[in-house]
Chain A
Amino acid sequence: MAKRVLLIEDEPNIIEAISFILSRDGWTVHTHSDGETAADRVRSLPPDVIILDVMLPGRSGFDILRDIRSDPATQDLPVMMLTARGQTKDRELAEQLGANHFMTKPFSNAEVLTHIRALLAGAATPCDPAEPNLEP
């Protein structure tokens, strides 16, 4: 069965680009563009990997991540965060909240693919050195 990725992003063109490269790589891509309901969507799917944008309408990516990590059903899901703001404090906050990877826009397609695959593989081996449940 194809591996499922949930892309939480609100820019239509970026959704289209990421969807294209991931489906070409054999992923089933689900997309969601509203921040408010994103955590519910994660719970109801749940996907194998999540790509999560920071600036979303309704609720920020950081808050959504906090939700995902505080729900036992979703707390172990690998999450890759995307941001266009590119500030170090965003990166620090993402790590603190338990993001598995953090990428700054714009990115190279190859880079996205490499990290998504790595996250899937990492999720298969439960001994993750980073403690994901650290609440600030």
Chain B
Amino acid sequence: MLTFNLLVAAALAYVAFLFTIAFIAERRASLGKVAWLRGPLIYTLSLSIYCTAWTFYGAVGFAARSGLEYLTIYLGPTLVMLGWWWFLRKLVRIGRSQRITSIADLISSRFGKSTALGVIVTALCVVGVTPYIALQLQSLTLSFAVFADAGGSEWVAGDLNAVALYAAGGLAVFTILFGTRNLDANERHHGIVLAIAVEAVVKLAALMAVGIFVVWGIAGGVEQTLARIEASDIAHWEQSGGRWVGLTFVAAAAFLCLPRMFHVLVVENDNERHLATASWAFPTYVMLMSLFVVPIAVVGLDLLPEGSNPDLFVLTVPLNQGREGLATLSFLGGFSSATSMVIVATIALATMVSNHIVVPIWLRSRGQGAMMSGDVRAVVLTARRLSIIGVLTLGYVYYRLSGGGAALAAIGLISFVGVAQILPVMMGAIFWRGATRVGAAAGLTTGFAIWAWALFLPSFGEGAILSARVLAEGPWGIGWLRPSALFGFDALDPLLQAALWSMLLNTAVFVVGSLLSFPSPLERLQGAQFVNVFEHSAGAQTWAPNSAQAEDLLIVAQRIIGPTEAQAAFQRAARAQGKAGYLPDVTPEFVQTVERMLAGSVGAATAHAMVSQTLEGAAVSVEDLIAVADEAAQILEYSNKLEAKSAEQERTARALRDANQKLTALSIQKDAFLSQISHELRTPMTSIRSFSEILREGGTDVAAQQRYAGIIQDESIRLTRLLDDLLDLTVLENGQVVLNQQEGSLADLLDRAVDTSGLRSGGIKVIRRPADEAIALSTDLDRLGQVFINLVSNAQKYCDAENPELRIVVRQTPQGPVVDFIDNGSGVPEASQEVIFEKFSRLEDHARAGGAGLGLAICREVMLRLGGEIFYLPGQGGAAFRVVLPKSQAMAAQ
């Protein structure tokens, strides 16, 4: 007999193997090598988490109890994959375009990013799926117990509970490790997906192996097997047409609505085209899984003593025949089915709980400033980890409370009917623009309540929650409220009846509620984007730009998705609008983009709340949203061609408008430039003339004479410097400058700049990281040094912090190495961030600053000539300038 310890060792080795696979996949993904991880095959295999321990073990039990009816559980998803792939494609497209993170997020997002709906769906899923997780823990412990029994050791309840506890703990560790490594903007988990794909192969192989053994090893061939089936009860089972249709429908609905299925189908989907493969490959997988169910059931019933649990035939038949190796494989198959389901279900539920319950509460309790100050990423990750632990704890507690009594399939079906309540609202969400938040909430609540009353609460058994009297006579003796015969109707079995009533009333309330209520503008907008997701694309839009809050949005985005990604996204958006720099106009369209970006990390409702809080409702007014909604509707009514054309026209118009503005601005600039030069030259001239007259007139004492002569000298120097700068700028602007290519290191150049500005001796504190500065340069070092000196002395002049600091940070970016100069003062107001690079554009208080306001204009021209770039970097706290080093010449010195 196989020792029990060996089995434990095999299980542990298998777990270690899964960890390694997940770890390698994550490593490769982080290196960008994801192509093979994301093929249609892996996608199809990941869908196999539909086949849980319930189907692995329970299908045989189901067949032994109710004949071929077990097929309905596979038939539902098969019909969906074969006949409804267009529906799935729409779901996936919406998921992608709206950055949906879970099914709760989908519903919440569609109905105006409603927090309440997010909470309802989350609650429904947690209540519906927790028993399902408990079921997996139960099957794990039962399968261990089978081996313990076979090994001769008698297990007591304490041992079973310990196994369940270890399993839950181990799954929590795995899920936290690979499910919350980072806040992936797309909520994709390469490691986990690969691990469950491997588990999918293991469980299929295990079931097939047991099946082949049963057919050819025990029964003696196909013909003999068929004969045995013919002779058994299963063949003569009376099949009820109503039950078949009902169960198939419930399975199909659950396939679409189960949080874990939604997660692998939509959230983890990498490419819509994978659906095409999955639409035939997944039914094939499911067919293979179900192929040997009946033979195993029949042989098990023949072979094993009366009263053996048919749910465990997959294990007990090989054990009975002394095939420990096969039994171990079968055990690992069941183990795979249970663990993969729990892992993905936990991730999906934890994402919902943290995005729709924990983070919103945290945000509300912290108020307006929360996402500007604290580290939101850390909070979201912690919330997600705590939610994972919470979900698994719930599953474990449910397992302990339910005592592992009911047959596996019964809990599974109850769960299925529970999550199926989401189906009407989900269909409405993506096919019916008239569906509203009120209708959705009412429908969901109705369905949920009926399900809980008629199926869920009674499932605990008589007297556990509902007393025997309530079950038999209805609450307060009201007969038509009896859970098993709602509305006095008991022709069908309780499960189907509950499913029928809950789905019917759910749908009816949803439809009537939607017809009677009026959607908010945001709902109308989201409705149009969901229902017409294929037709919808960026169209012509004419918004008054509201640039005031772009920087705030950037700050929030940086906190959530990280600075590099946020800056890149903002820059892209600005470029798409035809603007330079990092701050696009805050159009309603851009606000949506930002929301979607954040939604990938924190869910649509929270992202919406964050963005609205940031904008304080100013950027997206109700009028704007109505405009969006109306415009979206209009766009959809016109043909695509027309839309593209008007977008094109709009772009051209914008380009023309910009060009015109530039021309006007140029002529104004010329006037302003002359007037500025006049001012800058005349001011020192005034002092010189006035004091020289005073000196000529005589009558002043020697000290005053000395002082006035000094002023005259200083002002002459100022004049000369101004003329030098002007000449320098003119030469640079005309491109007549001769560059002097030199070799040197960035560190030396920065040393020199800091020394020249006299900062070593005090004033502003300079913080550097010499380790990053080991970059070899081959460019005009004097010119680049001129830029650095300018930036350092600007910080010295303008930084108004009490303890002024200047951080010089060297970073590697996609554009190559950059040097950021960031001080801790009050920074440059957004309105001035573009202007400061113009000639004579000093900010206030020029007396303090000295200089004529040509420094940054010269810097910009120098960087242009050197083939680099300089710009203002918003959102860093103080004033921040980024110098992108000349590209071809900068190479990292290794």
A38-46, A63-71, A101-109: which lies at the interface: A101-109
How far does the alpha carbon of A84 sit from the alpha carbon of B675 in the complex, in Å?
Answer: 9
Chain A contacts for B693, CB-based, 8 A: 108-110
> What's the minimum C-beta distance from B217 to chain A, rounded to whole angstroms?
95
Contacting pair B847 A106 (CB below 8 A)? no
Neighbour of B678 across the interface among A18, A57, A86, CB < 8 A: A86
CB closest residue in chain B, given A36: B844
Chain B contacts for A10, CB-based, 8 A: 846-847
Contacting pair B682 A17 (CB below 8 A)? no
- A14 interface residue per 8 A CB criterion: yes
CB interface residues, A 1-59, toward B, < 8 Å:
10-14, 16-18, 20-21, 33, 55, 57-58
How far does the alpha carbon of A21 sit from the alpha carbon of B715 in the complex, in Å?
Answer: 19
Contacting pair B687 A17 (CB below 8 A)? yes
How far does the alpha carbon of A14 sit from the alpha carbon of B711 in the complex, in Å?
Answer: 10
Neighbour of B847 across the interface among A11, A108, A109, CB < 8 A: A11
With contacts A13-B711, A105-B682, A105-B683 known, is A87 near B694, CB below 8 A? no
Chain A contacts for B685, CB-based, 8 A: 105-106
Chain B contacts for A58, CB-based, 8 A: 844
Contacting pair A106 B686 (CB below 8 A)? yes
Contacting pair A55 B679 (CB below 8 A)? yes
Chain A contacts for B547, CB-based, 8 A: none
How far does the alpha carbon of A57 sit from the alpha carbon of B842 in the complex, in Å?
Answer: 11
Contacting pair B690 A84 (CB below 8 A)? no
- A117 interface residue per 8 A CB criterion: no
- B691 interface residue per 8 A CB criterion: yes
CB interface residues, A 75-124, toward B, < 8 Å:
84-87, 104-110
- B555 interface residue per 8 A CB criterion: no
- B845 interface residue per 8 A CB criterion: yes
0 or 1 for each of B709-745: is its CB under 8 Å from A? (1 = yes): 0010011000000000000000000000000000000
- B181 interface residue per 8 A CB criterion: no
- B688 interface residue per 8 A CB criterion: yes
- B657 interface residue per 8 A CB criterion: no
- B689 interface residue per 8 A CB criterion: yes
CB interface residues, B 682-710, toward A, < 8 Å:
682-691, 693-694, 697
Neighbour of A12 across the interface among B682, B686, B847, CB < 8 A: B847
With contacts A13-B711, A109-B694 known, is A84 near B686, CB below 8 A? yes
Contacting pair B694 A13 (CB below 8 A)? no
Q: How many residues of B contact A (CB 8 A)?
A: 23
Chain A contacts for B678, CB-based, 8 A: 84-87
Chain A contacts for B697, CB-based, 8 A: 109
0 or 1 for each of B659-682: is its CB under 8 Å from A? (1 = yes): 000000000000000010011001
Chain A contacts for B683, CB-based, 8 A: 11, 14, 84, 105
Contacting pair A18 B847 (CB below 8 A)? no
How far does the alpha carbon of A58 sit from the alpha carbon of B682 in the complex, in Å?
Answer: 21
Chain A contacts for B694, CB-based, 8 A: 17, 20-21, 109
Contacting pair A107 B686 (CB below 8 A)? yes
Contacting pair B690 A21 (CB below 8 A)? yes
How far does the alpha carbon of A106 sit from the alpha carbon of B687 in the complex, in Å?
Answer: 8
> What's the minimum C-beta distance from B455 to chain A, rounded to whole angstroms?
73
> What's the minimum C-beta distance from A116 to chain B, rounded to whole angstroms?
14
How far does the alpha carbon of A107 sit from the alpha carbon of B693 in the complex, in Å?
Answer: 10
Neighbour of A57 across the interface among B679, B689, B847, CB < 8 A: B847
How far does the alpha carbon of A105 sit from the alpha carbon of B682 in the complex, in Å?
Answer: 6
Contacting pair A85 B715 (CB below 8 A)? no
Contacting pair A106 B711 (CB below 8 A)? no
CB interface residues, B 836-854, toward A, < 8 Å:
844-847
How far does the alpha carbon of A104 sit from the alpha carbon of B684 in the complex, in Å?
Answer: 13
CB closest residue in chain A, given B687: A13
Chain B contacts for A107, CB-based, 8 A: 686, 689-690
Chain A contacts for B844, CB-based, 8 A: 57-58
> What's the minimum C-beta distance from B682 to chain A, rounded to whole angstroms?
4
Chain B contacts for A105, CB-based, 8 A: 682-683, 685-686
Contacting pair B847 A85 (CB below 8 A)? no
Chain B contacts for A110, CB-based, 8 A: 693
How far does the alpha carbon of A107 sit from the alpha carbon of B714 in the complex, in Å?
Answer: 19
How far does the alpha carbon of A109 sit from the alpha carbon of B689 in the complex, in Å?
Answer: 9
How far does the alpha carbon of A110 sit from the alpha carbon of B690 in the complex, in Å?
Answer: 10
Residue among A13, A84, A104, A109 having the largest count of chain B Cβ atoms under 10 Å: A13
> What's the minimum C-beta distance from A16 to chain B, rounded to whole angstroms?
7
Chain A contacts for B687, CB-based, 8 A: 11, 13-14, 17
CB interface residues, B 529-569, toward A, < 8 Å:
none
How far does the alpha carbon of A104 sit from the alpha carbon of B678 in the complex, in Å?
Answer: 11
With contacts A86-B682, A105-B683 known, is A17 near B846, CB below 8 A? no
Residue among A17, A18, A20, A104 having the largest count of chain B Cβ atoms under 10 Å: A17
CB closest residue in chain B, given A108: B693
CB closest residue in chain B, given A12: B847
CB closest residue in chain B, given A18: B690
How far does the alpha carbon of A109 sit from the alpha carbon of B679 in the complex, in Å?
Answer: 19
Chain B contacts for A18, CB-based, 8 A: 690
> What's the minimum C-beta distance from A37 to chain B, rounded to whole angstroms?
14
Chain A contacts for B679, CB-based, 8 A: 55, 84-85
With contacts A16-B711, A84-B679 known, is A57 near B691, CB below 8 A? no
Chain A contacts for B847, CB-based, 8 A: 10-12, 33, 57
Can you list 30 contacts pairing A with B, beta carbon distance less than 8 Å? A11-B683, A11-B847, A12-B847, A13-B691, A13-B711, A13-B714, A13-B715, A14-B683, A16-B711, A17-B686, A17-B690, A17-B691, A55-B679, A57-B847, A84-B678, A84-B679, A85-B678, A85-B682, A86-B682, A87-B675, A104-B682, A105-B685, A105-B686, A106-B682, A106-B685, A106-B686, A106-B688, A107-B686, A107-B690, A109-B693
Q: Apart from A13-B715, A57-B846, A105-B682, what 4 extra A-B contacts exist at CB < 8 Å?
A: A107-B686, A108-B693, A109-B690, A110-B693
Q: Could you tell me which B residues sit within 8 Å of A by CB distance?
A: 675, 678-679, 682-691, 693-694, 697, 711, 714-715, 844-847
The 4 closest A-B pairs by CB, nearest first: A17-B690, A84-B682, A13-B687, A106-B686
